[in-house]
Amino acid sequence: MVSQKSIYPSLFPEEELNENISSERKEYDLTSLFERLAKSDFRSRFHLSMKDREYIMEKGLPTIRKHAEDFVAKRLAPAVIPNDGKQTPMRGHPVFLAQHATGCCCRGCFFKWHHIPAGRALTKEEQEYAVAVLMAWIEKQMNKG
């Protein structure tokens, strides 16, 4: 039997692509990371506000993931970041909060918390890991109620 997908082209090719990508995502055990982050007075003070939660619900997690991917690629992944340590705002987007809460805000913090050295561009896999950490924190926050 031939599926309808092969007969009729998709009207939403991006959604079809996203379905394929999500099934290929690597799973990470972030238990010990989140336990260490919880012991940090600075990292543990970050929480999503009601406005952040509403924004996430309005946009949806796939869109928030795309924002996280973009922020990581532009603000964390380059080998040289002229304003490293100051490139991530403290508010304005849920991903910014997640970056501070998880130590993915600058290369110094990224090294301290995730042991991925600065001074070189992040690999695609390291970028995917950073996004997975950010999304795990966001999802934990959304599930807290």
Residue range 8-37, pLDDT digits in tens: 444 444 444 444 444 577 889 999 999 999
User: Which of these, 56, 62, 49, lies nearest to 21 by C-alpha position?
Assistant: 62
Residue range 55-69, pLDDT digits in tens: 999 999 999 999 999
User: Which of these, 18, 27, 23, lies nearest to 65 by C-alpha position?
Assistant: 18
User: Which of these, 31, 28, 39, 29, lies nearest to 101 by C-alpha position?
Assistant: 39
Can you give the pTM of this predicted structure?
A: 0.82
User: pLDDT at position 71, please?
Assistant: 97
Residue range 83-117, pLDDT digits in tens: 888 889 999 999 999 999 999 999 999 999 999 99
Mean pLDDT for 3-10 is 43
Average pLDDT of the chain? 87
Sequence-distant (6+) residues with CB within 8 A of 39 are: none
Number of Cβ within 10 Å of residue 95's Cβ equals 25
DSSP alpha helices (H): ranges in the chain? 4-7, 13-24, 31-38, 50-59, 61-71, 94-102, 107-114, 124-143
